[in-house]
Structure 1
Amino acid sequence: MSPWTNHPKNLGKGCAKPTPFSEEHLIKIFNRFDTSGDGLLSREEVKSAYNLLGKSFAGLRTWWTLLVGDENGDGYINQKEFIKLVKKNYLT
Structure 2
Amino acid sequence: MSPWTNHSKNLGKGCTRAAKFATPPSEEYLIKIFNHFDTSGDGLLSREEIKSAYNLLGKSFAGLRTWWTLLVGDENSDGYIDQKEFIKLVKKNYLT
TM-score (norm 1): 0.81
Residue pair 2:45, 2:81 contacting (<8 A) in 1 also: yes
Q: What is the alpha-carbon root mean square deviation over aligned residues? A: 4.9
Residue pair 1:34, 1:40 contacting (<8 A) in 2 also: yes
CA distance in 1, matches of 2:39, 2:2: 28
Decide which structure has the larger Cα Rg and report it. 1
Task: Report the CA distance shift for 1:56/1:23 in structure 2 as closer, same or farther (over 3 A).
Answer: same
Identity %: 92
Task: Report the CA distance shift for 1:24/1:4 in structure 2 as closer, same or farther (over 3 A).
Answer: closer
* Residue ranges of structure 2 left out of the alignment (5+ in a row): 16-22
What is the aligned length? 89
Q: Does 1:2 align with 2:6?
A: no
User: Runs ≥4 in structure 1, deviation > 3 angstroms?
Assistant: 1-15
CA distance in 1, matches of 2:10, 2:95: 17
TM-score (norm 2): 0.78
* Residue ranges of structure 1 left out of the alignment (5+ in a row): none
